[in-house]
Amino acid sequence: MFRQLFLNKKKGFLLASILYTLPATAQTPPIYQDSTRPIEERIEDALSRMTTEEKVRMLHANGGYRSWGVPRLGLPDNNPTDGPTGLRPAMEWSNWNNARENSDSCTAFPAMICLAATWNPEIGQLYGKAYSEEALYRNKNIILGPGVNILRTPLNGRNFEYMGEDPYLASKIAVGYIQGVQSNHVAACVKHFAVNNQETGRMHIDTRVDERTLHEIYLPAFKAAVQQGHVWTIMGAYNQYNGQHCCHNAYLLQEVLRKQWHFDGVVLSDFGGTHNTREAILNGLDLEYGTHLGSPEAFDRYYLAAPYLSLIRNGEIGTAELDQKVRNILRMMFRTSLSPNRPWGVLASPEHSTIARRVAEEGLVLLQNADNLLPLDINRYKRILVTGENAMRKMALAGGSSESNARYEVTALEGIRNKIGNRAEVLYTPGYSSHPDANTDSLRNAAVEEARRADLIIFVGGLNKNAGNDSEGADRESLTLPYRQDELIHALAAVNPHIVAVMLSGNPYTMPWKDEVPAIVQAWYGGTEAGNAIASVLVGETNPSGKLPFTFPARIEDIGAHALQAYPGDGKSVEYKEGIFVGYRWLEREKIKPIFAFGHGLSYTAFTYSDLKLDKRQVGKGDKVVATLSVTNTGKRAGAEVVQLYVSDLKSSLPRPVKELKGFDKVFLQPGETKTVTFTLDQEAFSYYDPAQHGWTVEPGKFKISVGSSSSDIRLQSELSYL
């Protein structure tokens, strides 16, 4: 009988193979290939056809940026790409060296911190969509971004890859970006989950943070990515959280991500962030990248490769977790590389450059503009000195994993020359240099000599994505600008007061020269179109509308983590002693005045705020409050204002920040135009995380609503009672 069954089975198999090879019109595809069937059904069908070995092979890399599919079933490899701001160049197969392929020469979009400074989730969508088209062109189905780790210290080398110090702002911007990326059937990957806020000791540092702080400050952007952005993948962080590596951290991955947030996508490891097979199996890591490179055998030695298989073969571990991991990966594949709706890709198109430029322009923040020096009255200047190394420096192919091989990158000097070179003489001298052997004194003296003869100075400085100056793998040593730039700026301003500072960085820095320089522009790292965006703002073709996504403190001690000497820890662990008081939440509580406050940013026009109304003054649990107000452009230029709404809990049993951002809206207004701005506040806007209940709660009592142009420029206020 067994023999009979075997033969029948064999016949069945033969029949299936014949059917499978018949022309498409005559055969019924297997369920997993049938895109009209629900994804969950297709997943189960594919799973049922896979051997244990094939399943395990799907859980780890088979190249630097590649992991296995199942070729026998026609399931393709998965191909992630760094980083959040444009395609990372292809790497050589056995190491992390640039493979120098021309076909990866792409659009470099502005840094994430610049996107955050737009305060415009809609432009985030355009950004994400454009970038995903480039990913499609390179057959990439996962983009390893956005990064949403909160700026806890301005010394963190990777803040330029993240979205600033406020969880609400980061949440909104991340969601826009994710929706844009995924609308093209490319998975976004929100990273690095979680509490990855410094590069010092990043591979092992044990981050000690209390439960309330975790949920109020460090998790909301991830939660929004999952619940509002419906992100399809998430990357575990390198560091540990409360004693366990984040890539296989039971609390973060099982309790929070899967159980509380119902995440149904893939948890992938940061590259080299996996350290333990059992924990990875049991605590919810699905896909392991970057553990070793170097030889084909290296991939078998991944924690979720041969070691996993032997645990199964020895009967030490079952296959329930394995099936769950493969389900998660297949689900992501059906949403991306196997989606019938996946469009064609486009690389470095003019449309993408236009979007990159729009983001660079909208993110640019006018910090200071004494005597209305900006926009430049070009007819007044005959001889313009551009100075500072950053004026000439290309930034896209630098900084670590978020580097891009930009097809072109317009520097600030080129942008300025493009725009005004035919109307005035534009001279350049470096003024300072990042080269260790540079003679800084003679560079400075040469610039000062030129400055005397110029009728306008445009200084372009800041940080530069070198190690220790906004770069992955190393934090900054101090808040001071490198290469003695402060001395140079003082010296330039002393001989010529007509000076504009254009600062490129992803972090704040000290400005001892603030009162000597009338106009200061924060221009981030603007990507392909950086220089054109800067020039457009300088001459007033673009009216700046960016706002700071972080505070500019006067001194490093004005930041909670530093005031309490809770950074960078002792090499083993770091305790977040300042708790929820991060960024402006700390400065406001301590009544410290920053140089520029969170949310600050000027315009070439002016806006007035009026008529703040709340639709109710008494709010019951579950009620929504609608706040409306009018904003008018009272100046002579069209412009955009980011209207910000902050909530204060006037009396609470746990300490709460003076106020917290709970709404914002970017409003575009013609001269003289008035618009009504509406905010709908739900219970979340008034809640805090109560560690005693392990959840969010709202306390009865009075709340203040403040609306303004920055966290330190509140224009209207009102109050309500929560019942």
Is residue 144 a contact point for ligand BGC (CB under 6 A)? Answer: yes
CB-CB neighbours of 374 under 10 Å: 22
Nearer CB in complex with ligand BGC: 189/563: 189
Structure tokens at 103: 């076909």
Nearer to ligand BGC, 270 or 414 (CB): 270
Nearer to ligand BGC, 83 or 462 (CB): 83
* DSSP states of 631-679: EEE-SSS-EEEEEEEEEEESS-SS---S-EEEEEEEEEE-TT-EEEEEE
State the minimum distance, in angstroms, from the CB of residue 239 to ligand BGC: 11
Distances in Å between the alpha carbon of 653 and those of 650, 661, 690? 10, 20, 10
Pairing label, strands 206-208, 240-241: parallel
**Residue with Cβ nearer ligand BGC (82 or 362):** 82
Least Cα distance to 19 among 33, 36, 39, 2 occurs for 33
Please indicate whether residue 104 is annotated as part of the active site: no
Residue 375 preceded by cis peptide, ω within 30: yes
Query: Residue 279 is encoded by which pair of tokens?
Result: 């924990």
Q: How far apart are CA 434 and CA 468, in angstroms?
A: 12
Residue numbers 392-451 binding ligand BGC by CB under 6 A: 401
Question: What are residue 487's DSSP bridge partners?
Answer: none
**Minimum gap (Å) between residue 190 Cβ and ligand BGC:** 11
Question: Which one of the listed residues 270, 286, 470, 649 is annotated catalytic?
Answer: 270
CB of 476 to ligand BGC, least distance (A): 17
Closest approach, Cβ 55 to ligand BGC, in A, equals 24
- Checking DSSP bridges between strand 573-575 and strand 66-67, what pairing results, if any? unpaired
Q: Is 364 in the site for ligand BGC (CB under 6 A)?
A: no
Shortest reach from residue 161's CB to ligand BGC, in Å? 7
Binder among 42, 191, 444, 465 for ligand BGC (CB under 6 A):
191
First to last CA, the chain: 75
Total Cβ atoms within 10 A of residue 500: 22
Q: How far apart are CA 548 and CA 306, in angstroms?
A: 48
Shortest gap between Cβ of 400 and ligand BGC (angstroms)?
7
**What are the φ and ψ backbone dihedral angles of 452, each rounded to 5 degrees?**
-65, -35
Distance CA(616)–CA(622), nearest Å, equals: 13
User: Should residue 199 be labelled a site residue for ligand BGC when binding is judged by CB under 6 A?
Assistant: no
How many residues in the shown chain lie near ligand BGC by CB under 6 A? Answer: 7
402: which residues sit within 8 A by CB, 6+ positions away? 82, 83, 84, 85, 88, 111, 145, 147, 161, 472
3-state secondary structure of 97: coil
C-alpha distances in angstroms, 614 versus 30, 324, 644, 678, 722? Answer: 57, 48, 15, 10, 13
Question: Taking the complex as a whole, how short is the minimal distance between the CB of residue 65 and ligand BGC, in angstroms?
Answer: 7
- Residue 271 touches ligand BGC, criterion: CB under 6 A: yes
In whole angstroms, how close is the CB of 578 to ligand BGC at the nearest point?
24
Residue selected from 134, 165, 216, 270 as contacting ligand BGC according to rule CB under 6 A? 270
Structure tokens at 548: 């700071």
How many whole angstroms separate alpha carbon 485 and alpha carbon 462?
8
Distance CA 162, CA 148 (A): 5
42 vs 158, beta carbon nearer ligand BGC: 158
Residue among 188 and 413 whose Cβ is closer to ligand BGC: 188
State the minimum distance, in angstroms, from the CB of residue 274 to ligand BGC.
Answer: 12
Site for ligand BGC contains 142 (CB under 6 A): no
Angle at 43 between CA 41 and CA 44, to 5 degrees: 65
State the minimum distance, in angstroms, from the CB of residue 77 to ligand BGC.
16
Q: How far is the CB of 83 from ligand BGC (least distance, A)?
A: 6
Site membership for ligand BGC, residue 222 (CB under 6 A): no
Q: Are 152 and 561 in contact (CB under 8 A)?
A: yes
Peptide bond into 146 cis (omega under 30): yes
Q: Which is nearer to ligand BGC, 332 or 627 (CB)?
A: 332
The phi and psi torsions of 665 (rounded to 5 degrees) equal -150, 130
Which residues in 62-121 contact ligand BGC (CB under 6 A)? Answer: 82-83
Residue 128 · residue 179 · CB < 8 Å: yes
Q: Which helix (H) or strand (E) holds 538?
A: helix 530-539
State the binding string over 384-403 for ligand BGC (x if CB under 6 A, else -): -----------------x--
Q: Given the complex with ligand BGC, which of 270 and 470 has the nearer CB atom?
A: 270
| Cβ-based nearer residue to ligand BGC, 148 or 493 | 148
Backbone angles phi, psi at 488, to 5 degrees: -65, -45
**Residue number with CB closer to ligand BGC (65 or 703):** 65
| Residue with Cβ nearer ligand BGC (62 or 711) | 62
User: Where do contacts with ligand BGC occur on this chain (CB under 6 A)?
Assistant: 82-83, 144, 191, 270-271, 401
Residues with a known catalytic role:
270
